[in-house]
Each structure stands twice: as structure tokens, then as C-alpha cells.
């Protein structure tokens, strides 16, 4: 298990049970005491957990604005025009003959209608995206894994294992929030999939409308310099120092 996967698993365990002993961590993670100690020290420095005698507990940070996912139907009606512009701009980066990854999400869903004339291969973890891809007869592949009904996608370690079989010309990802420290999401299992996808694309694009800027969520899955941000309004100047940014017209 990779370091970020261990960290996400630790946070996932603590989200289900507020206080967990070191012994329980060792049994569930199957790692050495020194590795566990190192992982807990890193998470404590990131202000995500607090180490207590014989274990650790989760810190409920006041800074975390996005605490949970909205369901996909609710999100589809938010910032529709902004998302459509972002989707159209993103689709312009897709070339004929390429293989791409589309993260589950409402903006990536809107990309599909702009891809209908292209000869491409598409991999996704989005259940609703698969239906839309089939509508336009685009060659598509769905990742396996645990189904998260609220956001209509597959998540978790099985999804990551499935994803790691592919390599992509371009990867398109959504995020619940982003700030100068990077892109974040409330769900550790979704974060694992997003983080794996970042590593598999020659070019990586983050599709975020301006309502998500200067916010953060539970888990960071990528740094700002991991790819190109496509957004409907220009962010503050300091963001341009850390990321390549494409503002829609």
C-alpha cells in the first residue's frame, strides 16, 4: 500500500471511529510500528489527527468548508453555465486518437457532448458518464470497485487497481475545493482514485468553477502544479505562480 493510500485509510478508519488504538491500526494496515509512527506523525503535522496515549483521534478542523459530497442530482444544477464553459474548453484539449480518463462529476459529464465527433477511448469511474458515453457511441471502459451511490461512481482500492492498468494521453479531474495547498475532496476513497489518475496522464486537467476557490476539504489529492486548472474566472495572482491556468471565455 502506498503512503497516501495508508494515510487515507487511517483517516477513513478515524472517520468511522473517533479514537483508534495503535494496535488496531497495526492489525488493519499490516505495517511495522515504525511505519505507523511515521504516518501518524505526518498526519498530526498536517493537523488532520491528534495523537493520544496509545492511539490517535480525528481533528475536526474549522477550516474544512466542504465536509461531505452533495448528491450528483443536486450538483448538476449548480453553476450550470460555468461548468458548461469549462467542459467545452476542456474538450478542446482532447485530440483524435487519444485515450483519456474522465473523473466522475457533473463538469466531466458535460464534456461528453463536446467529444461526440472525436475518435477516442474513454475510461471513467462515473456510472452516469458511461450512459452518456454510450449515447454518443464513444468507446468506453468503466472502472471496477465499490459503488458510491451518492455521487454515482466507483471508488476505493479495487477502483485504483483497475485504474492502474491504463495509461492516458489526458486526465480530466474534478475537485470539491481547492486552495494554495492543492485540490481536495471529502471522501478518502474518492481521493485515492483521483490521486492515482493524476500519475497516469501525460497531461492532467482540473475542472473547477470559481465557487470552489479558497476552500478546502478533508483530503488533499493533488498539488496545484500537478496539472492545468480550467476555471471560469481568473483566480488571485498567487495561484498563477503555482499552476498553469486556463480561464474560459
Nearest to 6 by CA among 49, 59, 66, 54: 49
The band of 5, judged by pLDDT with boundaries at 50, 70 and 90, is: confident
Q: For domain 3-58, which architecture applies?
A: Orthogonal Bundle (1.10)
By DSSP bridging, strand 228-231 and strand 244-247 are parallel
Q: Is the pLDDT of residue 100 over 90?
A: yes
pLDDT tens-digit readout, 67-85: 455 444 444 445 688 999 9
Pseudo-torsion of CA 26, 221, 44, 158, nearest 10°?
Answer: -10
Mean pLDDT of 22-39: 92
User: Residue 89 is placed in which grid cell?
Assistant: 474548453
**Which residues of 111-191 form beta strands (DSSP E)?**
121-124, 139-142, 146-148, 153-155, 168-174, 177-179, 182-185
**pLDDT, tens only, 107-141:** 999 999 999 999 999 999 999 999 999 999 999 99
Please report which confidence band the pLDDT of residue 19 belongs to, taking 50, 70 and 90 as the band edges.
confident
Distance CA 246, CA 233 (A): 9
Could you report the per-residue pLDDT of 138-189, keeping only the tens digit for each? 999 999 999 998 888 999 999 999 999 999 999 999 999 999 999 999 999 9
Calculate mean pLDDT across residues 228-240: 94
Q: Residue ranges per domain, the chain?
A: 3-58, 72-247
- Residue 231 predicted with pLDDT over 50: yes
Q: How far is CA 47 from CA 71, 177, 219, in A?
A: 28, 18, 12
Mean pLDDT value across the chain? 89
Tell me if the pTM is above 0.75.
Answer: no
Nearest to 133 by CA among 125, 202, 84: 125
Coil, strand, or helix at residue 78? coil
What confidence score (pLDDT) does residue 60 get? 59
CB-facing half-sphere around the CA of 102: CA atoms within 13 A:
33
pLDDT score recorded for residue 156: 92
**CATH topology assigned to domain 72-247:** Rossmann fold (3.40.50)
Distances (CA, A) of 129 to 3, 132, 156, 233, 237: 30, 5, 18, 26, 34
Amino acid at each position: 500500500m502506498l503512503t497516501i493510500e495508508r494515510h487515507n485509510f487511517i483517516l477513513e478508519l478515524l472517520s468511522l471511529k473517533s479514537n483508534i488504538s495503535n494496535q488496531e491500526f497495526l492489525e488493519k494496515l499490516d505495517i511495522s510500528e515504525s511505519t505507523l509512527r511515521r504516518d501518524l506523525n505526518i498526519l498530526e503535522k498536517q493537523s488532520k489527527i491528534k495523537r493520544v496515549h496509545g492511539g490517535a483521534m480525528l481533528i475536526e478542523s474549522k477550516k474544512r468548508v466542504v465536509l461531505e459530497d452533495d448528491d450528483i442530482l443536486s450538483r448538476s444544477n449548480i453553476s450550470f453555465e460555468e461548468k458548461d464553459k469549462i467542459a467545452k474548453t476542456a474538450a478542446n484539449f482532447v485530440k483524435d486518437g487519444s485515450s483519456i480518463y474522465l473523473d466522475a462529476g457533473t463538469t466531466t459529464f458535460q464534456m461528453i457532448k463536446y467529444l461526440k465527433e472525436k475518435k477516442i477511448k474513454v475510461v471513467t469511474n462515473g456510472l452516469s458518464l458511461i450512459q452518456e458515453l454510450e449515447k454518443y457511441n464513444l468507446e468506453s471502459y468503466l472502472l471496477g470497485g465499490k459503488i458510491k451511490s451518492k455521487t454515482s461512481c466507483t471508488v476505493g482500492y479495487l477502483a485504483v487497481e483497475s485504474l492502474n492498468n491504463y495509461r492516458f494521453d489526458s486526465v480530466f479531474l474534478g475537485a470539491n475545493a481547492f486552495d494554495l495547498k492543492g485540490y481536495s475532496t471529502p471522501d478518502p476513497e474518492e481521493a485515492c482514485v483521483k490521486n492515482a489518475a493524476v500519475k497516469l496522464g501525460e497531461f492532467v486537467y482540473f475542472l473547477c468553477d470559481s465557487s470552489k476557490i479558497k476552500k478546502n476539504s478533508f483530503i488533499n489529492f493533488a498539488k496545484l502544479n500537478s496539472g492545468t486548472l480550467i476555471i471560469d474566472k481568473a483566480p488571485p495572482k498567487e495561484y498563477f505562480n503555482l499552476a498553469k491556468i486556463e480561464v474560459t471565455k
